[in-house]
Amino acid sequence: QVQLVESGGGLVQPGGSLRLSCAASGITFSIYLMKWYRQGPGKQRELVAVITGDGYTNYADAVKGRFTISRDNARNMLYLQMNSLKPEDTAVYYCNGRRRDSEYWGQGTQVTVSS
């Protein structure tokens, strides 16, 4: 059974930081393309960051320079370090894993940026 389980969300003040984690099980994690998506209130789900199995990364323009995606293939873990958070970063953040015709989603973790 494949599971992606996010954690680390919460309430943070503007300018603060959070680190999201995604624990993967039931897949050969190292060969999966891993992504973070988010869905803000009243918005469509959008791609935030991508990381290949080899560690190559790409980011949405809105988070470039503030967020860092990383992975630990030995521990089957995906991370998203979020710095200089803004109210517009408020969303449910989802972990996604994809390889060929297989795609899996986590249940999401809420991030709220507010003073």
What pLDDT shows up at residue 81? 98
pLDDT tens sequence across 7-29: 999 999 999 999 999 999 999 99
Instruction: Quote the mean pLDDT of the chain.
Output: 97
Report DSSP letters for 58-105, one per residue: EE-TTTTTTEEEEEETTTTEEEEEE-S--GGG-EEEEEEEEETTEEEE
pLDDT in tens, the chain (115 residues): 999 999 999 999 999 999 999 999 999 999 999 999 999 999 999 999 999 999 999 999 999 999 999 999 999 999 999 999 999 999 999 999 999 999 999 999 999 999 9
